[in-house]
Structure 1
Amino acid sequence: MKVSREVKTAILVLSGIALFIYLFSYLKGEDLFSNTQTYYTEFNYNALSASSPVTVKGNKIGKIEDISYDFDSGKTRVSFSVNPKLKFSKNSKIRLYPTGLMGGNALAIIDAADGEMAQAGDFIQSEVKEGLITSLGDDFSDISKDLGTTLRSTDTLVGNLNTLVTDESEEGLKQTIAELNATLKSFKSVAFSANNLIKANDEKLTSVLDNFDKTSAELAILIKDLNEVKLSNTIKNADEMLLKFNQLAAGLEAGKGSMGKLLKDDALYDNLEKASKELELLLLDIKLHPARYRRILSKKEIPYEAPTQEQLNNN
């Protein structure tokens, strides 16, 4: 069977149109021969473009099909298709995230791993992940404000400096430089004087440093000698002695031993005080009547007479 030229031409034209449609769809990211399932979500603003990828854990599994504005809700409604082999929960999130520093966004399916499985045509809740550029933009807005304030302060400072050095007689700056020069000369003179003073007392300074070195060496020897005589043992013995003294004081406070009883026993104290008083009276009587005690061995007894108050006061 012979095919006419017209039929061949028609077949060639139709094949070209089909190829053109396929290539155009391919360039748009559409695959005419793929079997996909379409889902829906929405955002407060549009940051996507047609054929933007849809990913799962960084792997492309679909693309954006259509982006439209919903006049009733005021939100951007997005339809996207994914490979039918993908199974995810209806409670999952569709996350809008940036794909790089140069711009561009994509959608990622964050599977909730629980709940009913999503079916084609279902609406999935969305969320937005802020990108690096957006965060930097927010930070740079504050930085720019602070930088503007700093620049204005710097401008004011420079203006004040200009006012300070400007003189209507046009001699203010020259006078300022002259005063600065005089100050530098004075400083140079002081430096020369200090240098001459050091040179004049160089031997004394050397002697002082030598004495300091000797003192340091002697101090080191003294510390070494103290370490060798075991100063720590001496301190330990002193601690033991203080501990025993504290124990002795505690015993006296508790009334233990003769000294403790003497300090704490009121009856013993009263007896000692009474004996001391009687001994005082005996010595006074001996002083007033010595003849009585010279004849103590004689047969004649001299009766005891208590001293008068005047005698007590005189003695």
Structure 2
Amino acid sequence: MSKELKTGIVAIIVIAIFIWGYNFLKGQNLFDTDTRYFNVEYANIAGLTKSSFVTINGLKVGKIDKIEFNQQPDKMGHLIVRFSVEKDFLFSKNSIVKIYSPSPLSASNLAIIPDYIAENAVSGDTLKGETESSLFTSIGERLDPIQSKLEKVMVSADSLFKNVNNILDLKTQKSLRNSVKNLENTLQEVKKMMFSVNSMIDSTSLDLKESIKNTRLITENFSKVSDTLANANIGGIMRKAEVTLNSANLMLDGINKGQGTIGKLVTDDELYNNIAAMSKELENLLREMKLHPKRFVHFSLFGKKAKAYTPIKEAELEKDANK
């Protein structure tokens, strides 16, 4: 082997090592045949650079290889990001590549949100891209509508103050001063009235205290009465009253059924008629004894016979009674 050939071989090896080392320092391994490349398009890359990482579920699997503008007329200004994935992790073409920022002070990175339903993605495919709102972006998005509302409020306030200035002329200002003065006088009158009320309350405080004392005594007496009622065995008294009422009910029920002397007297009409007739006969007998006592008691010193009893009519008895 000639010296020139050896020199050429060494030069080729050095150049190859230099190229490999340069690409290795850029994050590309020329001897790694498992590396796949994918594209994703964004309208705004939000601070993404070539040194940004690519992660799947938080694991670093690659890096950004190239960022260039889209040359299509309908997508002018959009950016195409080319990134590599060195791991053999499979995901579908419907997976989403999202730009995110790990912290407010760090650069943005790419995160692959894998999907496993559709066909697996292969090297060279273009995936769907999204941008995750950072802390400052989210705050800015929320402050923008507030800023617009504040601007409208400031314009309205400015118009309001102009209208107020137009309304508050010298005559209106004088009226307002008079109103304030009248309000001050009113407050003075209210203050005097409150003093009068306080004086009246002070004068009636003794009577109020006495009333409260009497109320307390009434409450204590009522409490004693309540204690007496509580200790009076109301239950026993009620039970005895219930027994007495039951006995009275049984007695009245027996009377209604004609049991006993009182029951027969109440329910037996024949007995009632006999007693009424006997009473009538007794009344006639007593009337006869009163009008003619000699018929019932006879006393004679000479042996004169008593007159025989002859019944008289009722009308004669009444006539004699009226004399």
- TM-score, length of structure 2 as denominator length: 0.50
| Mapped partners of 2:102, 2:233: distance in 1 | 77
Residue 141 of structure 2 is matched in structure 1 by 138
Contact preservation (8 Å) 2:27, 2:63: no
> CA offset at residue 128 of structure 1?
3.4
Residue 87 of structure 1 is matched in structure 2 by 89
Residue 178 of structure 1 is matched in structure 2 by 181
Q: CA 1:134 to 1:178, structure 2 compared with 1: closer, same or farther past 3 Å?
A: same
| Mapped partners of 2:99, 2:187: distance in 1 | 67
Kindly provide the CA deviation profile for residues 124-154 of structure 1, in whole angstroms up to 9, marking residues without a partner as x.
2223333444443333233234334444455
Contact preservation (8 Å) 1:48, 1:105: yes
| Mapped partners of 1:161, 1:222: distance in 2 | 73
Structure 2 portions without partners, runs of 5+: 1-13, 236-323
Secondary structure at the residue paired with 1:136?
A: helix
Secondary structure at the residue paired with 2:37?
A: strand
> CA offset at residue 109 of structure 1?
0.8
Q: CA 1:116 to 1:170, structure 2 compared with 1: closer, same or farther past 3 Å?
A: closer
Residue among 96, 105, 110 paired with 2:108: 105
Contact preservation (8 Å) 1:87, 1:117: no
Q: CA 1:189 to 1:170, structure 2 compared with 1: closer, same or farther past 3 Å?
A: same
> CA offset at residue 173 of structure 1?
6.1
Residue 37 of structure 1 is matched in structure 2 by 36
Q: CA 1:223 to 1:111, structure 2 compared with 1: closer, same or farther past 3 Å?
A: farther
Residue 47 of structure 1 is matched in structure 2 by 46
Contact preservation (8 Å) 2:92, 2:121: yes
> CA offset at residue 223 of structure 1?
8.1
Contact preservation (8 Å) 1:62, 1:80: yes
Contact preservation (8 Å) 1:165, 1:176: no
Bigger Rg over Cα: 2
Task: Spell out the pairing of 1:9-28 with structure 2 (5 A cutoff).
Answer: none
Secondary structure at the residue paired with 1:125?
A: strand
Secondary structure at the residue paired with 1:143?
A: helix
Aligned residues: 213
Contact preservation (8 Å) 1:90, 1:115: yes
Identical counterparts, % of pairs? 25
Q: CA 1:169 to 1:218, structure 2 compared with 1: closer, same or farther past 3 Å?
A: same
| Mapped partners of 2:225, 2:145: distance in 1 | 66
| Mapped partners of 1:78, 1:139: distance in 2 | 29
The residue type equivalent to 2:36 in the other structure is Q
The residue type equivalent to 1:195 in the other structure is N
Contact preservation (8 Å) 1:63, 1:81: yes
Contact preservation (8 Å) 2:92, 2:116: no
> CA offset at residue 80 of structure 1?
0.8
| Mapped partners of 1:227, 1:155: distance in 2 | 78
Secondary structure at the residue paired with 1:139?
A: helix
Instruction: Give the alignment's Cα RMSD to 1 decimal.
Output: 4.4
| Mapped partners of 2:224, 2:150: distance in 1 | 63
Kindly provide the CA deviation profile for residues 199-229 of structure 1, in whole angstroms up to 9, marking residues without a partner as x.
1111122234445555666777788889889
> CA offset at residue 57 of structure 1?
2.0
Task: Spell out the pairing of 1:1-315 with structure 2 (5 A cutoff).
Answer: 30-31=26-27, 35=32, 36-51=35-50, 52-72=52-72, 73-74=74-75, 75-82=78-85, 84-91=86-93, 92-102=95-105, 104-155=107-158, 167-168=170-171, 171=174, 174-211=177-214, 213=216
Contact preservation (8 Å) 2:45, 2:99: no
> CA offset at residue 120 of structure 1?
2.6
